Amino acid sequence: MTVFLPLTLEGVSLRELSFMYGFQRYLFVIAATLPFEIRDLKLDHPNLSTWPQRWGVKNTKILGFVLLIFFLFLEAFFNFSYCFEITIMIAFILMVFILISKKEQPKYFSSFWVEGIPILWLFLKKIFL
């Protein structure tokens, strides 16, 4: 939705670079959901087979780091945005939130702070562009 819909509304034809950008955005979204998965570990049904249930909290955090490193690699290789420094900062902030995620989180940790990361990203891009 955040890649292909805006491109098609602008009349831009989808190319390989568009699909790579979509894949990069997908990696970020998966990494951003991990703090929620860790938080919900105690509430999820055992047969749901979420990543923290399958691999444990520590390995889920490692997965988040790997996804974000690959996200940054794609950003550096394809130069998708004009503000690479902002993208690095946002990925680093998300890495910190993944690192400090735990089963027993404060009430607004995921619901406010983690969900606010994309809003911060937009705000910083609007300021510096």
Q: How far is CA 38 from CA 30, 67, 102, 122, in A?
A: 13, 16, 6, 25
Q: Would you state the pLDDT for residue 7?
A: 76
What tokens were used for 4?
Answer: 């292909």
Q: Would you state the pLDDT for residue 33?
A: 94
Mean pLDDT, contiguous 10-residue spans, the chain (129 residues): 76 78 92 93 90 95 97 89 89 96 85 91 88
Q: Would you state the pLDDT for residue 105?
A: 85
What tokens were used for 43?
Answer: 């509430």
Q: What is the pTM of this model?
A: 0.87
Instruction: Read off the DSSP letter of residue 108.
Output: T
Instruction: Read off the DSSP letter of residue 110.
Output: I
